[in-house]
Structure 1
Amino acid sequence: PVPLPDETIAARAAELAKVAEAAVARAGGEKPVYIIGTEVPVPGGALEPLEHTHVTEPADALRTVEVHRKAFSRLGLDGAFDRVVGVVVQPGVEFGNADIVAYATEKATELVTVLERMPQFVFEAHSTDYQPAEALGMLVRDGFAILKVGPWLTFALREALYGLSHIADELAPDPLRETLPAAMERVMLASSGNWQKYYCGTPDEQRLRRHFSFSDRIRYYWLAPEAQRATGAVLAALGDREIPRPLISQYIGHLDVEVGAGRIRPTAHGLLLGSVTRVLNIYRNATNQ
């Protein structure tokens, strides 16, 4: 959809801040800090071809700050605006169904220089999922100190769950237990609202994307009762037993090194936690420079 005018976005942000300020005044406690932005992308990854990914123009970043400053001031929120700490911008990173655009510091040089004129702020970078660790580190060093991550975490959970389903078939075979991918396929086909407009292509391409897309629309289905039953059956089959490393290497290979180093317990529960924690640690390392 066509974005709303900057002034409308800023006015709505100021209205939200006014409510937040009033709530804190009633309840007490530490006053909030805020992040503003007019270039917040569509959640869940790009729908358009990734070759069109752009970097925010420096003038647009400055304009975002100015229109928000005026909107806050009109509502008597100058003190609240002093607690705005971040501005959402596009540093040129994005992901789609099967593609990732990695951060290139040279493409964001002009945008980064704007921070010298806005010492109050850092940048927030959206859609940083699946970025190489080195790219996340460069983003932070360049001033994109707040890194937005979402689908990568649930993608990592899905990787581990599907791997455990395969492992359960090897360690505790049961012809009556439906595989987790098969169960999730039924769940998603029965309720297509959360994936259909995101996954175009042939039926085979849509099927692959339902399960394996970086956009990870499957994340909206894990709480469905049938998905919960299928997941529970896999976890019950494995219980608390230690899973042999060769099976971990085969089906959840990205965790094998961590298991070997003793940082992840080789149980179903440990592997699920470890898969998500592995991603969080990448971000922790990038932002703790």
Structure 2
Amino acid sequence: MALDDEHTAERAAELAAVAEHAADGSGYERPVYVIGTEVPIPGGTLEEIDGLEVTKPKAALDTVEVHRAAFRARQLDNAFQRVVAAVVQPGVEFGNANVVVYDRAKAHDLSAVLDQINKIVFEAHSTDYQPPEALWQLVEDGFAILKVGPGVTFALREALYGLDQIADILNPVLDGESLHTAMERIMVADPPNWANYYHGSERQLFVQRHYSYSDRIRYYWTKPEAQAAVQRLFARLDGVDIPETLISQYLALLYPAVAAGKLPARPKALCIAAIRHALRPYALAARQAA
């Protein structure tokens, strides 16, 4: 259950007080702050979504004012002057299997509120998987901070699984596990990071564990067993000349750069390129706010 606005603002002010104290005498610039009372649950929604209610303009204004009062109560007026953004819901979100794309017409009234808030922009939460044109429109409409997380790790998983398929063709596993098989075993043995998020039959759960937009598999890549599985995959492809045709088949987004000689067909380089490819639309959109 979400806290009411006052408690949320009080906690934010308490955190700001600690941050300001830590900044005293540190030699670093004073921190800036992002405030908000409508932060969604991490990792996207738990089910398929058809649409979302955009934050009401009054609610956005109230968020700023309730935080202003909470900061003032702790004599943090100077810190509040460094609030750069407020988190709102502009009508974007993703579930396990679908994405709600930004509709600027529905967010028009919310965007107009920025004229009444001095030096503050909006942070758009859960902008993962938004198409480039939607990201541009978000920034143009004042949602200048674009939060992305699972969309990036999803791209990494795609690259790793693509390499896993390529390795199965070029250097088949004879006495061990493929990466996909290893990750399934690791996740099934340790379900807390996905069990409350995925629902359905055993086959549906299998698909969601590996291919959900929520990308709960991201919580497993740092586990020693998963890291060892990735290293085994890389070792299978070490020194192997990966044909461009297999890049086209299993890592199609990276094929143009590989074919043009701009990207080496090596596992680590391909994974990094996949991540950069996912981040590039955000970087391009965010430049509008610079």
TM-score using structure 2 length: 0.97
Instruction: Answer yes or no: is the 8 Å Cα contact 1:240–1:268 preserved in 2.
Output: no
CA distance in 2, matches of 1:74, 1:240: 63
TM alignment of 1:77-88, pairs within 5 A? 77-88=76-87
Equivalent residue pairs, number? 288
Task: Determine helix, strand or coil for the equivalent of 1:243.
Answer: coil
Match of 1:225 in 2: 224
> Equivalent residue for 1:134?
133
Distance 1:230 1:48, change over 3 A: closer
Q: Which moved more, 1:128-137 or 1:19-28?
A: 19-28
1:62 aligns with 2:39: no
Verify the 8 A CA contact 1:180 1:234 in the aligned structure 2. yes
In 1, distance between residues paired with 2:77 and 2:141?
A: 28
In structure 2, the residue matched to 1:123 is 122
Give secondary structure in 2 for the equivalent of 1:106: coil
| Structure 2 unaligned spans of 5+ | none
Counterpart-to-counterpart distance in 1, 2:64 and 2:208:
38
Unaligned runs of 5+ in 1: none
What is aligned with 1:43? 42
- For the pair 1:198 / 2:197, whether they are aligned, the reply is yes
User: What is the deviation of 1:54?
Assistant: 1.3
Cα offset for 1:242? 4.0
1:91 offset after TM fit, Å?
0.4
Aligned to 2:25, the other structure's residue is in SS state: helix
Provide the residue aligned with 2:151 in structure 1.
152
CA drift of 1:173 comes to 2.0
SS class of match (2:222): coil
Between the aligned partners of 1:51 and 1:87, the Cα distance in structure 2 is 25
Structure 1 pair 174/48, CA: closer, same or farther in 2 (3 Å)? Answer: closer
Conservation of the 8 A alpha-carbon contact between 1:177 and 1:233? no
Deviation at 1:257, TM superposition (A): 1.9
Equivalent-residue separation in structure 1 for 2:122 and 2:52 (angstroms): 18
Residues 263, 111 of structure 1: CA spacing in aligned structure 2 closer, same or farther, 3 A cutoff? farther
SS of residue paired to 1:27 = coil
Which residue in the other structure is 1:32 paired with? 31
2:277 alignment partner in structure 1: 278
- How far does residue 144 in structure 1 lie from its aligned partner after superposition? 0.4
Q: Distance in 2 between matches of 1:72 and 1:108?
A: 28
After the TM superposition, which residues 142-221 of structure 1 pair with which residues of structure 2 at under 5 Å, given as runs? Answer: 142-221=141-220
The percent of aligned pairs where both chains have the same amino acid is 55
Contact preservation (8 Å) 2:85, 2:123: yes
**Residue 13 (structure 2) aligns with:** 14
Range that drifts further, 185-194 or 244-253: 244-253
CA distance in 2, matches of 1:48, 1:228: 30
Name the CA distance, whole Å, in 2 between partners of 1:70 and 1:283. 33
User: What is the CA deviation profile of residues 139-198 of structure 1, one whole-angstrom value per residue up to 9, with x for unaligned ones?
Assistant: 000000000000011101100101111111111223113111111000000000000000
2: CA distance between counterparts of 1:71 and 1:263?
53
Letter of the 1:41 partner, please give it. Answer: P
Give the deviation of 1:246 after TM superposition.
0.5
In the other structure, the counterpart of 1:245 is 244
The SS at the match of 2:87 is strand
Q: Distance in 2 between matches of 1:170 and 1:213?
A: 25
Q: Measure, in 2, the Cα distance between the counterparts of 1:263 and 1:62.
A: 48
AA in 2 matched with 1:62: L
> Per-residue deviation at 1:241?
3.9
| Whole-Å separation in 1 of the counterparts to 2:202 and 2:66 | 46
How much has 1:77 moved relative to structure 2?
A: 0.2
Q: Which runs of 4+ in 1 moved over 6 A?
A: none
Distance, in Å, in 2 between the alignment partners of 1:85 and 1:112 is 15
Tell me if 1:90 matches 2:83. Answer: no
Shift of 1:266: 1.4
Work out the CA distance in 2 between the residues paired with 1:149 and 1:263: 27
Distance in 1 separating the partners of 2:257 and 2:227? 27
User: Aligned equivalents of 2:164 and 2:62: distance in 1?
Assistant: 50
Q: What displacement does 1:252 show?
A: 1.2
TM-score by length of 1: 0.97
Provide the residue aligned with 1:261 in structure 2: 260
Give the letter aligned to residue 30 of structure 2: K
Distance 1:49 1:183 in 2: 28
Matched AA of 1:186: R
Q: CA offset at residue 240 of structure 1?
A: 4.5
The alignment partner of 2:50 has SS state of helix
